[in-house]
Amino acid sequence: MVVIKKVKTREELKMVHDIRREVFIEEQGVPEEIEMDDKDDEAIHVLAVVDDEPAGCGRILFNGSDARIGRVAVRKKMRRSGIGEGICKLLIAIAEEKCVERIILYAQLSAEPFYARLGFERQGDVFMEAGIEHVMMIRQI
Ligand SMILES: CC(C)(COP(=O)(O)OP(=O)(O)OC[C@H]1O[C@@H](n2cnc3c(N)ncnc32)[C@H](O)[C@@H]1OP(=O)(O)O)[C@@H](O)C(=O)NCCC(=O)NCCS
């Protein structure tokens, strides 16, 4: 059974950090000091669990009328079964509750089609972040 929920406990936040370490630092080679930034305390985090096993995560930050989704990750063996989409749909629902006007994200170029399916539109040119090609994408609420 897949459960996707808002993070409420320190143990759940630890699971989020473990997934991000596995996906971004170990798999993608993102430097730890970039991955583990100082925004986690102010973010709302989402955790996906499959049959009691941590599977994926994401977070959302708020700044005035903007929300920013980031750190969306699904463990490799659990990809392409709708977990990433489920995480983003919950993050979008959280943004809708807060009455923001738009959601911004910096998508890895390879994930652009994934976010496009969720209603995000590409803005501007490709740029580099943590050695990976990114593109800014926006979804109006
Ligand atoms: C991007 C990521 C979160 C997607 O998670 P996922 O659970 O595999 O995604 P879903 O199964 O919900 O995908 C939903 C749909 O999005 C599209 N999609 C997902 N990953 C895609 C990819 N890499 N390329 C193109 N389309 C993709 C597909 O249309 C997919 O539907 P389908 O499997 O029926 O074709 C996951 O691949 C991941 O963690 N990647 C490494 C970390 C990363 O790049 N995070 C994004 C940071 S911006």
CATH number at residue 31: 3.40.630.30
**Taking Cα atoms as reference points, which of 25, 102, 30 lies closest to residue 69?**
102
48-92: per-residue pLDDT in tens? 999 999 999 999 999 999 999 999 999 999 999 999 999 999 999
- How many angstroms separate the alpha carbon of residue 114 from the centre of ligand 1? 5
Average pLDDT value over all residues in the chain: 97
Given a contact cutoff of 8 angstroms between Cβ atoms, the answer to whether 5 and 50 are in contact is no
Q: Which atom of ligand 1 is nearest to the CA of 58?
A: 3
Query: What is the pLDDT averaged over residues 106-134?
Result: 96
Asked if pLDDT for residue 99 goes beyond 90, the answer is: no
**Confidence (pLDDT) at 5:** 98
Instruction: Give residue 74's domain range.
Output: 2-101
Looking at the structure of the chain, the number of domains it has is: 1
Is 118 a domain residue?
A: no
pTM over 0.75: yes
